[in-house]
Amino acid sequence: MKSLNKIKVYEKPTCTTCRKIAKAFSELGVDFEKINYYIDPFTKSKLKSLLIKMKMKPSELLRKNDEAFKKLKSQIEKLNENEILDLMIKNPDLVQRPIVEKGDKAILARPPERIKEII
């Protein structure tokens, strides 16, 4: 049976910060599960749950430097938080990463040193 307190890292494997997190956990001997949210996409309820655990609104989790955001910026500015959440589900490039979850806590691990808050 899986432990409820197993650390989950929601990532894009090509992301440099995501790789740094995985390396740090491995070096610390921390057991964690990687979840590539491009292969195993977020459901609306899962992303909403992570946002609640991070005490963040969808608009605060947007990757504002990403090309996908820049293309949709004028549209996004007109959306409410629920609509932004829907857009993030449809377009995972808009989701800031990596998100690290452990039990009832989650953090946006930027910068990577933030993982200390969850170990």
111 token code pair: 């910068």
Mean per-residue pLDDT, 7-17: 96
In which element (H, E) is residue 101 found?
strand 99-102
pLDDT above 50 for 12: yes
43 token code pair: 């459901």
pLDDT above 90 for 94: yes
Q: What is the mean pLDDT of the chain?
A: 94
Nearest to 59 by CA among 67, 46, 43, 47: 47
Does domain 7-117 match CATH 2.40.30.10?
Answer: no
Q: Please, which pLDDT band fits residue 14 given cuts at 50, 70 and 90? A: very high
Residue 79 neighbours by CB under 8 Å, 6+ apart: 87
In which element (H, E) is residue 87 found?
helix 81-90
83 token code pair: 């609509």
Q: Please, which pLDDT band fits residue 5 given cuts at 50, 70 and 90? A: confident
pTM of the entire predicted model = 0.92
